Amino acid sequence: MQKIWEKDLPLDKAIEQFTIGKDAVLDLDLAPFDILGSVAHVKMLKKVSLITPDDEQRLLRELRELYHKVEEGIFVIEPGIEDVHSQVEKNLIEKLGETGKKVHTARSRNDQVILDIRLFTRSRLAQLRKEILDLFDQLLYLGEKYKDHLMPGYTHLQVAMPSSFGLWFGSFAESLTDDMILLNAVWRIINQNPLGSAAGYGSSFPVDREETTRLLGFDHTVVNSVYAQTGRGRTEKTTAFVLSSVASTLGRLAMDAVLFMNQNFGFLELPDAFTTGSSIMPHKKNPDAFELVRGRCNRIQSLPNEIQLITGNLPTGYHREFQLIKESWLPAFDSLSGCLGITRLLLQNLKIKDDLLEKDIYRYLFSVEEVNRLVGEGVPFREAYRKVAKEIQTGNFQPPEKVSYTHLGSIGNPGFEKIREKMKAVAGEIDPDKAENIMKKLLQS
């Protein structure tokens, strides 16, 4: 098939293959959004009289048929077809002849792919929100369950002060609330319509950009055509910061879990079915799943930097380097989704060891408690500090029998309800179902 940019001039086969890259594989993720974007574009073309009502109905019928093929998993990008845009147009031309060629009227592949990426991102962010909330609920459930189970806290990886498993679980739940704040910000950035900006400089056709904004459920239109094009790369980078932020939360949890499952700590345990063995050491119970979460999340955290390095020195306008971003960026969503799901599964089966602080190695955890007790009796803090330090040095320190914390966010008052209220408020700032419901109507009307 003739390429949609081709001018009947021969192209070297090596150059052709090099420039196509992995688009034919990666673009399958964009297929449903490319088709929905085309549906909105066709409706707009008919509204401004650039195509006839008959053309509109014929195009819409075939586009909906293609969408159903995507849903059924039978839509393919054929060998020799460079991307999803070319494949959709090829299918329309095969079915509709000259009418199929009209789908590209007043549109460039540039604004087409930017639109696909924004619609794809919006959909995956909506899914990510649900997965974050599921893990958040699991963490707070465990926080409540184990709020009275004490554990040692560390600074510099040295025994520091008493903590609890409730505080530990709750810390990651609250971290997810900040991740959600960042997600909301990026949602507002990407939920703007670039369609109609064409190659980045607008069109001499009287397109109605506000109409496609309405049809596709965007909150706003990217007004400036040049900026709409410049948004390529920026969309992926800002979204990568969200993925990286969530990955940072998961990666730290995974690192702690790996450490705490080590026999020298012995805080946590997983059932045999959730660990792996060794080919040579029959006693091993390796936390491979947590380790892979840690590794995958580290890789995701490198994504913003990778995108910055690809796009950082590009001038205004479209450049083919943007194509390279998809190779790391599109798979990152599935990778993070997998990490969220497996982390939740691991947490559901995690066993907490009891009475950890009875071990003698943790007796100095309570040194601050003794300092604070003396201060409460009127001893100046610095003097109390020196007194306890001397007792420790001479081997005369006797830890207190109980710990008393009452302030918000401490062992005795972990504040789970406030964390839950915070997440509820943050999550309620945007409504992903609104856009999804609007998009569904494209396939019905």
Taking alpha carbons only, the member of 230, 174, 175 closest to residue 199 is: 230
Tell me the C-alpha to C-alpha distance, in Å, between residue 107 and each of 14, 113, 114, 279, 375: 28, 11, 12, 58, 74
82 vs 13: CA distance, rounded Å: 12
Instruction: Say whether 156 is catalytic.
Output: yes
DSSP string, 385-421: HHHHHHHHHHT-----S-----STTBTTB--HHHHHH
Instruction: Say whether 108 is catalytic.
Output: no
410 vs 148: CA distance, rounded Å: 11
Q: What is the largest CA-CA distance in the chain?
A: 94
Taking alpha carbons only, the member of 361, 343, 23 closest to residue 175 is: 343
Taking alpha carbons only, the member of 270, 305, 312 closest to residue 290 is: 270
235 vs 123: CA distance, rounded Å: 14
What are the phi and psi torsion angles at 413 (to 5°)?
Answer: -150, 70
* Cβ atoms < 10 Å from Cβ of 18: 9
Which residue of the set 156, 204, 279, 283 is catalytic? 156
Which residue of the set 68, 220, 278, 404 is catalytic? 278
321 vs 310: CA distance, rounded Å: 7
Contact 400, 372 (CB under 8 A): no
Contact 369, 405 (CB under 8 A): no
Known catalytic residues are 156, 278
